[in-house]
Amino acid sequence: MKTRPELTLEDCLKISAAAQAEARRNNWLVAIAILDDGGHLLHFARMDGATPANAAIAVEKARTSALSRRTSGRWEQLIKDGRTGMLNMPGILPVQGGVPIVADGTCIGAVGVSGVQSREDEQIAQAGIDALLKR
């Protein structure tokens, strides 16, 4: 039988805390969403000063990565490269800032961040994931 790892609340708290720390270190105000591999919310936090739009965008970036198993930045790049048809993909927000969480070769969820420049959003998301997976 196949088994796969699953994110616990404790894992999510670790990811979110590290992501928030990364944002605070740079004086960035962001929203951070953590979703499971089905694209459903596990944890969410919006720092004071991040907008309501950031809240929704963070979730959508995370959903994009959770369901497609790749960074939302990859989708952005595809479109930049001319694959404009990708703008019409269902459930895809092709903007950098969403990163899948891959453990034991399996995507177990994703982190989405919104609030600053897109590559900075991704930097924050990655910092959160690294806190969980890198020793």
Among 15, 18, 19, 36, binds other proteins (CB under 8 A): 36
Q: How far lies 103's CA from each of 129, 132, 134, in Å?
A: 10, 10, 11
Smaller CB distance to other proteins: residue 77 or 106?
106
Give the whole-angstrom CA distance, residue 39 versus residue 68.
10
**Type of residue numbered 94:** P
The answer for 82, left when phi > 0, alpha when psi is -120 to 50, beta otherwise, is left
Residues 45-104 that bind other proteins (CB under 8 A): 45-48, 52, 55-56, 59
Smaller CB distance to other proteins: residue 59 or 124?
59
Among 23, 30, 31, 66, binds other proteins (CB under 8 A): 31
Smaller CB distance to other proteins: residue 36 or 76?
36
> How many beta carbons lie within 10 A of that of residue 114, not counting itself?
29
Give the whole-angstrom CA distance, residue 39 versus residue 50.
22
Binding residues for other proteins, total number by CB under 8 A: 20
Which residues contact other proteins (rule: CB under 8 A)? 8-9, 12-13, 31, 36, 38, 40-48, 52, 55-56, 59
